[in-house]
Amino acid sequence: MFFAGTNGGIFLSNDNSETWIRKNKGLINTDIRAIAANSGNVLFAGTYGNKIFRSTDNGESWTAVNTGLTKYFILSLLIIPDNTIFAGTNGGIFRSKDNGDSWTQINTSLNEKQVYSFSINSEGTIFAGSDGGGVIRSTDGGDTWTEINNGLTNLKIRCLAVNSSGVLFAGTWGGGVFHSADNGDSWEQANTNITNKIVISLTVNSNDTVFAGTDGYGIYRSADNGDSWVQINTGLFNKNVLHLSFIPTKGLFAGTDGAGIFKSTNNGDSWAPVNNGLTNTIVYSLDINSSDELFAVTYGAGIFRSQDNGDSWTQINTGLTNPFLYSILINSNDDLFAGTLGNGIFRSTNNGNSWTEINTGVTNTFFYAFAHNSNGVLFAGAYGGIFRSTDNGDSWTEINNGLTNTVIYSLVVNSSDVLFAGTGGGGVFRSIDNGNSWTQINTGLTANDIRSLAVNASGEIFAGTAGKGVFRSTDNGDSWTEINNGLTIKNVYSLIFNSDGVLFAGTSRGSFRSTNNGDSWEEINNNTACIYSLAINSKGVLFAGTRGFGVLKSAESTTGIEKSKNNLCNSFTLEQNYPNPFNPETTIRYQLLDNANVNILIFNLQGMEIKKLLAGYKNAGYHSIKWNGKDNNGMSVPSGQYFCRMEVKSKDGNYVLTRKMVLIH
């Protein structure tokens, strides 16, 4: 079995990485930074923010094991032959000798350091590398540690590896690779032919060949203990290599930043992606053309197109020199414009089949937003301001007059061609002259970090913020009002209206809907995915680009979000009814991990069933049902306390969930 930890949780492969299945049951945090297994096949997963989880059933379920663990961010894990576990955290090293049941912090020189890596040699000597504290060594199972930094001119250690002869390798942030032939007593720099000195992953194969993964320059190989290196990137589209592993008889594996896993069976001479089922993609932006084809730009994997409503995707990166993208726009002619993080703007005039760089006049290469007006004039928001093109992107002009903040996260144009820009720290700016000049319009706006903008059919403007929810302006931006009733998550990264005027908000934890122009909000699912982008096709289907869960979609614009092809519910859940207390009617929402037989029953305080709301087979997904306060005979029940009970029978087992409700007449 292979396990992969991603920003979308844990994936399992039973067929040598050919296919992957997500295994997140019980995980309350899916940002996995480390994973390890002991000799009894017990798995441990370190998360970025919620400590450590353990699985005793090959990843089918996970349980938090954090007694004594005072740090929340787990950066590395090591299990030594006696099954003692070491956890590198954002504040030193913790150890468990009882299978994770309890943890104790080890007193080392790295107590206040971020510990990114561990390694162990054939003699049982343990090495730990940190950010700023260099390398420490233990020869007694972690009881005592010694600092071993002689010759290390860079102490920002990101990775460690040791070969069969005991030669130790350390990859650093900015100093390249160092090696030691004396168990770490002294170090020498070993960077011949390595052009990028940010080394974030290392591994050694059975022939003691060393492989180094870098930040942006791919993978290097050394057959002489690091004395010289050769770059080996054939087939490796994404060159940010976060992790390297060698598995005897299986091959060499590279985990990338955004493009999944690549595999080599010829010592790194060539690489091929092995991502079937690995759906942990970060999708920053979505757009839909006039034929209802869906386009998604990703962080690390380039651009994808779907011609079947999101059921399948094709990677379309011909001519694209940077796989890290943040924004996309499709104009009225179905020309596509894509903004990269580092290589400016690309355009496609053939439905994404090929791309051309269009950066004439562009002085900034990080682009976060696009917009166009009724005359086809293009606007591009960058880290350094706004650019305008009047010739379909052939050339660009910087238009920053009046902009006191030039970090542009969002752009929108209203029906009168007034342009609005949301900035990362300066609030909202408005231009009434095609971008020639800008005015700051923040009256009533208590948040300055604007991540999304939308305009409704009446010309009202809506601004989604980082941390302060949504604001609305009914006077062209002259003043703003906070509209967060029911909006429990205040990081709003995307806003969009459907053709009926229903407003949707994508947040850092799920999605919300407003049917009354933002006066009130309701959560439309119980999924905790971070939603960066939203798009709606001509049939009203809502699509969401997420962090770690790819693209999600709804059956129709007024329903909760579910996974394209595979439902993305995390569990069987019965939500609290709303409103509660209620009179005369309340809505009960629930989600099903799998297709199941479901009963939803109402009981009084005496335990008597008074109403059967549902008894039948339901598909996986998000559902809701209403109760009008009447019993099975159609009679109104008295005020008081009641219980809603959901009984589920599925292929994974039987579940019973209960919620307390209060009826007031």
Query: Taking 80 as the threshold, does the pLDDT of residue 578 lie above it?
Result: no
- Which distant-in-sequence residues (6+ apart) come within 8 Å of 142 by Cβ? 84, 86, 93, 95, 106, 126
Q: What share of the chain is helix, strand, coil (3-state, %, to 5)?
A: 0, 50, 50
Beta bridge partners of 587: 578, 626
Which is more confidently placed, 16 or 160?
A: 160
28 compared with 317, residue with greater pLDDT: 317
Rounded to the nearest 10°, the torsion over CA 361, 364, 369, 371 is: -10
pLDDT tens, residue by residue, 45-59:
999 989 999 999 999
Q: Which two tokens stand for residue 538?
A: 């001509």
Give the residue, 501 or 379, on which the prediction is more confident: 379
How would you classify the pairing of strands 385-389 and 531-536? unpaired
Structure confidence at residue 559 (pLDDT)? 43
Q: Tens digit of pLDDT for each residue in 96-106? A: 999 999 999 99
Sequence-separated (6 or more) residues with CB below 8 Å from residue 82 = 141
> What pLDDT does residue 111 have?
86
Q: What is the structure's pLDDT at 527?
A: 63
Q: Which CATH architecture has domain 283-563?
A: 7 Propeller (2.130)
Q: Per this entry, what is the length of the chain?
A: 665
Contact (Cβ atoms closer than 8 angstroms) between residue 133 and residue 169: no
Residue 493 parent element (H or E): strand 492-497
Identify the residue with better confidence: 116 or 24.
116
C-alpha distances (whole Å) from 454 to each of 227, 374, 446, 480 are 56, 16, 18, 14
Q: Which residue has the higher pLDDT, 605 or 133?
A: 133
pLDDT number for residue 567: 36
Give yes or no for a contact between 348 and 339, defined as CB atoms under 8 angstroms apart: no
- The yes-or-no answer to whether 108-278 and 283-563 have a common fold is yes
How far is CA 302 from each of CA 7, 17, 331, 565, rounded to the nearest angstrom?
A: 17, 22, 20, 21
CA angle 143, 148, 149 (to 5 degrees): 145
Which residue do the tokens 């962090």 mark? 547
Lowest mean pLDDT among 64-78, 403-417, 434-448, 637-651: 637-651
CA distance 199 to 220: 10
Mean per-residue pLDDT for 443-447? 95
Residue pair 443/458 in contact by the 8 Å Cβ criterion: no
Which pLDDT does position 402 carry in this prediction? 97
Query: What confidence score (pLDDT) does residue 112 get?
Result: 85
Whole-number mean pLDDT of the chain? Answer: 91
Looking at CATH, the fold of the domain delimited by 108-278 is given as: Methylamine Dehydrogenase; Chain H (2.130.10)
Return the residue matching tokens 């207390």.
581
Model pLDDT, residue 566: 35
What are the structure tokens assigned to 294, written together? 């869906």
Q: What is d(CA 656, CA 597) in angstroms, rounded to the nearest whole number?
A: 12
- Judge whether 601 and 609 are in contact, CB under 8 Å: yes
The pLDDT, as a whole number, for residue 41 is 93
Q: pLDDT digits over 549-563, tens only?
A: 888 887 564 444 443
Closest by Cα among 128, 95, 127 to 113: 128
pLDDT of residue 525: 67
Is the confidence at residue 172, as pLDDT, over 80?
yes
> CA angle 110-114-116, nearest 5°?
105
Structure tokens at 474: 């009914």
65 burial class (0-12, 13-18, 19+ CB within 10 angstroms)? buried
Average pLDDT over residues 570-595: 80
Q: Are 630 and 585 in contact (CB under 8 A)?
A: no
Taking the C-alpha atoms of residue 299 and residue 647, their distance in angstroms, rounded to an integer, is 40
pTM for this entry: 0.70
Instruction: Give yes or no for a cis peptide into 579 (omega within 30° of 0).
Output: yes
Give domain 1-106's CATH number out of 2.120.10.30, 2.60.120.260, 3.10.129.10, 3.40.50.300.
Answer: 2.120.10.30
Q: Which of 373, 191, 274, 198 is nearest to 16 (CA)?
A: 274
Question: How far lies 546's CA from each of 284, 312, 337, 447, in Å?
Answer: 7, 16, 20, 23
- Per-residue pLDDT averaged across 356-378, rounded? 96
User: ∠638-643-645 over CA atoms, to 5°?
Assistant: 135
Question: Residue 589: enclosing H or E segment and its boundaries?
Answer: strand 586-592
pLDDT at 579 over 60: yes
Check whether 278 has a pLDDT greater than 80.
no
Q: Calculate mean pLDDT across residues 438-465.
A: 95
Q: How many CA atoms lie within 13 A of 345 on its CB side?
A: 32
Helix (H) or strand (E) holding 511: strand 510-514
Confidence class of residue 568 from pLDDT cuts 50, 70 and 90?
A: very low
**φ and ψ at residue 503, rounded to 5 degrees:** -100, 130
Instruction: Assign domain 573-663 one CATH number from 3.30.300.30, 2.60.40.4070, 2.60.40.420, 3.90.550.10.
Output: 2.60.40.4070
CA 342 to chain centre: 20
User: Which of 553, 556, 516 shows the shortest CA–CA distance to 534?
Assistant: 553
In angstroms, the Cα distances linking 317 to 156, 258, 355 are 34, 14, 7
Q: Cα–Cα distance between 515 and 43 in angstroms, integer?
A: 45
Q: What is the DSSP string of 5-71?
A: EETTEEEEESSTTSS-EE--TT-S---EEEEEE-TT--EEEEEBSS-EEEESSTTS--EE--TT---
* Domain parsing of the chain, residue ranges: 1-106, 108-278, 283-563, 573-663
Encode pLDDT of 239-268 as tens digits: 899 999 999 988 999 999 888 899 999 999
Mean pLDDT of the region 49-73: 94
In which region does residue 621 sit, left (phi positive, over 0), alpha (psi from -120 to 50) or beta (all else)?
left
β-bridge mates for residue 370, sequence order: 380
Least confident of 143-157, 305-319, 423-437, 521-535: 521-535
* pLDDT(569) > 50: no
Q: What angle do CA 591, 596, 601 make, to 5 degrees?
A: 70
CB 274, CB 40: distance < 8 Å: no
Kindly tell me the burial class for residue 27, based on how many C-beta atoms sit within 10 Å of its own C-beta (0-12, 13-18, 19 or more): buried
Closest among 506, 512, 509, 499 to 545, alpha carbons compared = 506
Q: Which residue has the tokens 């971020």?
A: 114
Predicted confidence band of residue 39 (pLDDT cuts 50, 70, 90): very high
On the question of pLDDT at 636 being above 60, the answer is yes
Residue 574 in this model has a pLDDT that exceeds 50: yes
Residue 270, both tokens: 């060539």
Contact present, 600 and 54 (Cβ < 8 Å): no
